[in-house]
Structure 1
Amino acid sequence: MSTRGVLWAILLLAALALVVGVWKRVWPDVEMGKRLAENNCGICHDMTDTHRNRKGPFLWGVVNRPAGAVDFPYSAAFMATVKAKPFVWDEAHLERFITDPGSFIPMTRMAQRETGHPLAFEGIDSAANRRDVIAYLNTLK
């Protein structure tokens, strides 16, 4: 292969790598979201269609469900927030919550910094990982 052919092959591979990288950042990966949700949420939340509460309310059907709608003993902080400004768990609210639960709902039991609870959830830093988790939660219907 000529030097020119090698250069074109390298450019083509670089372009392909760039497209794959952009694709992974733009389009959510539901399987990755499932693994992330199981590891980050599954400790306290049931994600099956059995609708069982555990340390936290079940997450089956959470997307577009009104906040606080599950029969569950929510924290006073959570209920005060929901009563002051009702909302549904749409993708935007889920994004804000799983980024940093304590800044979205101060003193919620999920925020380890405020509550000191050893199993509390501090958030997911990666926007791509949050997008993957939300894509997975969207499948729980």
Structure 2
Amino acid sequence: MRKLLFVIGLGLSLPLAAQGSLAPADYANRQLEDAGQEARAAALMEELRCLVCQGQSIADSDADMAGDMRHLVRERIQRGESPAEIRDYLIERYGEWVSYRPAPERPIFWPLYLAPVLLLLIAGWMVRRRFRRPRP
């Protein structure tokens, strides 16, 4: 019985071991003093996806990785980099998936924009064939 309680207690304590032991980065949860810089950082953080949560932006996520990314964004904004430069850096580092706004100018995304138009044309052609009256 003691062994069973020990195993259950050990299993329940595993999530505690998974918690990060590092202190959060300086700007992970602290805003910049300059309101204009903070506004640019906040807008950019809404456009970036948390790599851990996958469904939240880094502005909304509580994951350690999102905190590190918020710190990186605020630190680079404070140094004078533009949001576009920071976004490009993060896309280069983590891939296009990190951004909620894919770049439409890249050829890899053209099928995403052309597929709906193509499907509508095919559907229209099929409906036209289906309801066309036979000629005597």
Fold-level similarity (TM above 0.5): no
Q: TM-score range by the shorter chain?
A: under 0.3
Higher RCO (CA 8 Å, separation ≥ 6 residues):
1
TM-score for both structures, normalised by structure 2: 0.27
